[in-house]
Amino acid sequence: MNPIADTAISQVHFKYSFLVVSLVLIIHALPFFAFFTPFNQADVWLFFVSYTIRVFSLTAGYHRYFSHKAFETNRVFQFILAFFAACSLQGGPLWWASHHRHHHHTSDEVSDAHSPVRFGFFYSHFLWFMQKKHLKAHYHLVKDFSRFPELRALERYWYLLPLPVIALLYLIGGWNYVIWGFFVPTLFVNNATYAVNSFVHLYGSRRYNTSDNSRNNVWVALLTFGEGWHNNHHRYAGSANQGFCWYQIDITYYFLCLLSYLKIVKNLKKVPEKILKEGGY
């Protein structure tokens, strides 16, 4: 028997949050109503717009900005990123960023909350955040952002934020817009981004000999706008780009470059040349 694995498994206590479990069930059940609503070409565009806005808000906002401060922006755009990311129902910005910062300190160790190496694929994919013991933010790790009252408000009411979005979609196009503009893309947004915790710590290639099991995976990178270049990211987490060369597609970074040109964001951090050479780039 492996004593480290045994210790890890013993720490998996299945005490779930009723609220979070309910939200996960809703996310995975309501999209099936798409089979009972009229379908037209506008629904496809609605899906992709909703998917794009929220994946970008999660990857650029929750991850590269709030977790790693890979670029700078103003307080208004900071709020916009946090709002639309919270509409994906992945918790508030302070909770998300604090747990992710903790993940980087303990990646694939026993104290890592969502390591598939320690706890298995499904636990790291979505079971971990349904547990009561993981519901609190590590506020001592996000003192830089917890000073903003508007972010603390989003943190407190994150599970209510989709309601005005759903109401607006219903007023514009009825239940068809709600299904294709919110529930169907929410299912895809969440499982694609969950895969960064689970799938790319198990499957893919490694350019860098990091202390964890992070991998580069092109398919997850495409679905998550660049987050699948995870071995790159764990080697140098502070970079605004996670694709380290031209053929590693990083859509989040392309959008950030456009926003930088428009003066909405600034000071995009880049990977040092010596780290690029270390990875053979």
- Asked if residue 202 lies in contact with residue 215, where contact means CB atoms within 8 angstroms, the answer is yes
For the record, the structure tokens of 273 come out as: 């040349």
For the record, the structure tokens of 157 come out as: 């009411």
Distance of alpha carbon 89 from its chain centroid, rounded? Answer: 10
Among positive and negative, which fits the CA dihedral 167, 136, 51, 77? positive
Produce one character per residue of 134-154: b if its CB has 16 or more CB atoms within 10 Å, e if not.
beebeeebbeebbebeebbeb
Nearest-Å Rg of the Cα atoms of the chain is: 19
Task: Using the structure block, give the residue that is written with the tokens 């059940």.
Answer: 29
What is the model's pTM?
0.93
| Model confidence at 6: pLDDT above 90 | no
| Model confidence at 14: pLDDT above 90 | no
- Per-residue pLDDT of 153-167, as tens digits, reads 999 999 999 999 999
- Give dist(CA 246, CA 274) in Å, integer: 17
| Model confidence at 10: pLDDT above 50 | no
Q: Which band of pLDDT confidence, cut at 50, 70 and 90, is reported for residue 13? A: low
- Per-residue pLDDT of 71-109, as tens digits, reads 999 999 999 999 999 999 999 999 999 999 999 999 999
Q: What is the mean pLDDT of the chain?
A: 94
- Per-residue pLDDT of 231-270, as tens digits, reads 999 999 999 999 999 999 999 999 999 999 999 999 999 9
Number of H helices, E strands in the chain: 15, 2
- Per-residue pLDDT of 25-44, as tens digits, reads 999 999 999 999 888 889 99
| Model confidence at 191: pLDDT above 90 | yes
The predicted pLDDT at position 38 comes to: 87
3-state secondary structure string, 175-193? Answer: HHHHHHHHHHHHHHHHHHH
The predicted pLDDT at position 4 comes to: 37
The predicted pLDDT at position 39 comes to: 87
